[in-house]
Amino acid sequence: MPSSPTAFVRENLVVNATKSRTVPSGAKWIITNVVLSATGTTAATVTVLIDGVALIPGVSIPALGMFTLDCTQVVYAQSSVEVRNGANGAVSAHVSGVEVTP
């Protein structure tokens, strides 16, 4: 089973924005790192979900602050990874890991 390091989500999210990605058929993702940073002078609240279940439930990030999570979470084909920014500051979101294909 070949695997390759991949950035699943790499986005700048404005207020009330959502970015969602779906695992392709026949593949699975292993999320290993999540980095969230509030890019402005206002705190931000961010939620990261895997297939609708919160991995990071509404974490508050101070203005110009950063949140990091090192983990090992498997996400199967046709499942989604979603990053939601709340009603305050802008956020940069990076979700990375390994894509495994048959």
Sheet architecture: strand order including 53-61: 18-22, 80-85, 44-50, 53-61
**How much is the pTM?**
0.92
Average pLDDT on 22-40 reads 96
Tokens standing for residue 48: 């990261």
What integer pLDDT is reported at residue 19 of this predicted model? 95
Domains in the chain, CATH or no CATH each: 3-100 (2.60.120.40)
What integer pLDDT is reported at residue 11 of this predicted model? 94
Of the chain, the percentage scoring pLDDT greater than 70 comes to: 99
Q: What does the pLDDT look like over 59-89, one tens digit per residue? A: 999 999 999 999 999 999 999 999 999 988 8
Contact 69, 34 (CB under 8 A): yes
What integer pLDDT is reported at residue 2 of this predicted model? 83
